[in-house]
A and B are shown apart, each in its own frame.
Chain A
Amino acid sequence: MSEETDEAIAIRVQQGQQEAFGELIRRYSAKLSRYARKFLFDTEDAQDVIQDVFIKAYENIQSFDASRRFSPWIYRIAHNEFVNALKKRQASRTVFAFDIDTLVPHLASTDTADSAALERDVRAAIENHLETIAPKYKEPLILYYLEDMDYKEISDILQIPVSTVGVRLARARRMLQEAAKNDKHLRDTNLL
C-alpha cells in the first residue's frame, strides 16, 4: 500500500484532524533540522527556530493550497524563519538586502546536470567550507545538494526567478572551489 502523501495529510489537518500534523512533523523534522543546522550553524538556536517553523506551519495550514506540493510551502516558512533568526543574530548587518541578481534577466543556466565527480566535490566542499559562503548563496546550495530540490522548487521557496537560482548556484560553487583551494594552499604552506 502506498504511503499517504504530504498533501493528503495536510488536507486532514485542515479538516480538523490535529493529530495528523504530528505525521508531518515526523516527516520534516530531520530534513528541516539539517537545513537549519547548515544554515544557522547553531544546534540550540536551530532547534528553537525549527519549533517556530512547525508552529507557524500549523497556524497557517489553512493557507496551504493542496493542489500544490507541500514541501516547498513548509520550506518557504522555514526560509522566512531562518532569515528572521539571522537578522536577529546579525542585527547590525544586512542579511538579505536588495539583490541585483533578481533585477536583471539571466540566460538560463546550462549546468544543472553536474557530472558525478563535480557533484561529489561540491558535496565535500559544502561539508568543509559552507560557513565561508554568504547566506544568499549558501541557501540554494543546501536546498539543491543536500535537500535534493530542483531549480523550480528553490525558486518557489526563495521567491526569486529560476535563472537567478542557477546564477547563485554557479557563484556558490565557484566560492566553494576558491575556499577549498585556499584551504589546500594553507595546509601545504603549513606543512612546508
Chain B
Amino acid sequence: MNTKHTNGVGDDVMKAIREGHVHMRPRWHFLLLSALTLTGAILAFLTLLYIVSLGVFFLRDSGALFAPSFGARGWLTLLRSLPWLLIGFVVIFFVILEYLVKRYAFVYKKPLLLSVSGILCIVFIGGVAIARTPLHHTMLVSARHGFLPAPLSALYGHPLRQTSPDDMYHGQIVDVIQGGFVLVDEDTEDGHGTTTVLLTPRTRLPYGEDFTLGERVVVVGDEVATGTIQAFGVREIDEYPNQ
C-alpha cells in the first residue's frame, strides 16, 4: 500500500498500522517459507546427485567411460556418448539450487565462481560415488524385468540413456574365435544380437588381449561386413562392486 504522507512518513505509516491497513505477517509464515526453501534446496541437491550418478552409470555401463583409453578417437566416442538430456536436467536443477540458496550468507559471501564450483565438485564426487554402488544396476535390472513403476523405469531407458555412437559396441563375450571374439551386442533391439569382432595388429588393447568368455567389453571399430566389425580398440568394462 502507499498512503500519501501528510505529517511525515512515520505518522502515515503508524496511522496505517493502527487502522489495520498494514498487517504483520505471522512468524509461522517465515518459518514455513524457510522450511520450504530448505526442503526445496535439499531435494534439488539430491536430484542433482541422482542425475549425475545416473549419467556416470550410463557411461560406465555402456563402456563409453573407458573409451578414452583408445586415444583421441576414444575421447570423441565418449563425447558423442554423453547423455545430453541428463546434462540439461543437471543445468536446470543446478540453477534451481543456486536460486534457493543464494539468500544464505555462506553462499553470497563467496564469489559465484567458488560457490558454483564447490557445489559442482560435491555433486560430481557424490554422483561418482553413488554410481559405484549397486543402486543403479539393481534398478536397471528391475526396470528391464518390469519390477519398477513406470516413472522410475523410464529413467533407465531411452531417451535419457544416450544411444551408443555407430562405431561403439558393448556386450558380453560369448565365443572366442581365431583373431577375435563374438559378443552379444546389448545395443541391438532385443539385446541378444551377436556381433563378430576382428582384432588386427593395429587394434588398441590397453589391457591386453586375454579375453575370456562371459567378460563384458567395449569395442570401438568399423563395420566391415554385416555383423562383423574390425576393432580399433577393445577393453573390458569394469564391473560394479557386489555385481
Q: Name A's B-contacting residues (CB within 8 A).
A: 13-14, 18-19, 21-22, 25-26, 29, 33, 47-48, 50-52, 54-55, 58-63, 102-106, 155-156, 159-164
Contacts and interface: CB of A to CB of B under 8 A. Distances in A.
A60 to B, nearest CB: 6
Contact of A106 (B5, B108, B111): B111
> Would you call the interface of chain A mostly helix, strand, loop, or mixed?
helix
A22 B9 CA distance: 11
Interface string B193-208: 0000000000000000
B3 A51 contact: yes
Contacts, number: 84
A59 B9 contact: no
Contacts of B13: 21, 25, 51, 54-55, 58
24 contacts: A13-B24, A14-B27, A18-B17, A18-B18, A19-B14, A21-B13, A21-B17, A25-B10, A29-B9, A29-B10, A51-B13, A52-B2, A54-B10, A55-B13, A59-B23, A59-B24, A60-B30, A62-B29, A104-B111, A105-B111, A105-B114, A106-B111, A161-B110, A164-B111
Given A21-B17, A26-B10, A163-B111, 4 more contacts: A29-B10, A51-B2, A54-B13, A58-B13
B177 interface: no
B4 to A, nearest CB: 9
Contact of B108 (A51, A54, A159): A159
Contacts of B16: 55
B113 interface: yes
B109 interface: yes
Interface string B162-180: 0000000000000000000
Contact of A161 (B26, B30, B108): B108
B22 A59 contact: yes
Contacts of B145: none
A162 B108 CA distance: 9
Contacts of A162: 109
B25 interface: yes
Contacts of B102: 159
A48 B29 CA distance: 27
A106 B111 CA distance: 8
Contact of A47 (B9, B26, B29, B108): B9
Interface in B32-65: none
Contacts of B108: 155, 159-161
B14 A25 contact: yes
A42 to B, nearest CB: 14
Given A51-B5, A55-B22, A103 B112 contact: yes
B11 to A, nearest CB: 9
Contacts of B18: 18
B158 interface: no
A54 B18 CA distance: 14
A79 to B, nearest CB: 13
Contacts of A19: 14
